[in-house]
Amino acid sequence: MEDKFDCTCGHPISFRKKITVSIACTSCRNLYCLTNNTFLKISTLRPVVEDVSPLKIHTEGKSESKEFSITGRQQIIYSSSYRNLWSATYTNGEHFQIGESYGTYSILNELSIEASPAKFRNLKVGKELQIAPKHFFYVNGIYEMKSITAEGDLPTPVILQPQCITIELSNNKFESLIINIYGDNDIKISSGRFLNFEDFSFKNTRNLNGWI
């Protein structure tokens, strides 16, 4: 079920009840976050960087035979790379993220685990990390976030923490692990698996000069 409120610029913003947590105005790029059942303006976002992604808000697809629609995106810019985190919602209301970076795609779900950032600060590229018995990952890259922006309707908060370290890991089972360390104490870990673009059965994608 949808509802609306007016942005400070006067533009109406539609959101999904009991789902939307963060939402960006399409007119002025003000970012609102749900706080105590009220949407409060927390920032004005930069425009997303054109990265020739074939995906966009309202792109549809399938995962494990379940249909979904993309509702928003967070775009994280590092010093020499970027990552899109597309928010997608199944028809039953469940949501997940599609990670995209330079033509690689993965399905990501945030893990509800408690961990100390100190456990991961000494990781190096190529180092092995065991997260469960006989379940190993290897560090592919460690990146310092330079900026973050967003667009659309998101079921999660947009963390505008200026200090963020991202550690990307994978293994030979096509599984991925992303560890985001914010400041000194906050940490978020997402796990997922790599998929090919064709595996999502995307439709309503961007027309990039005949590429799609």
- Start-to-end Cα distance in the chain: 32
pLDDT score recorded for residue 212: 47
pLDDT at 41 over 90: yes
Asked if the model's pLDDT at residue 210 lies above 70, the reply is no
> Which pLDDT does position 141 carry in this prediction?
93
Q: Report the distance separating Cα 7 and Cα 29, nearest Å.
A: 10
* Each residue's pLDDT tens digit, 70-84: 999 999 999 888 899
Residues 6+ away with beta carbon under 8 Å from 108: 85, 96, 97, 98, 99, 176, 178, 190, 191, 192
What element of type H or E holds 78? Answer: strand 66-78
Flag whether pLDDT at 211 surpasses 70.
no
Q: What percent of the chain has a predicted confidence (pLDDT) above 70? A: 99
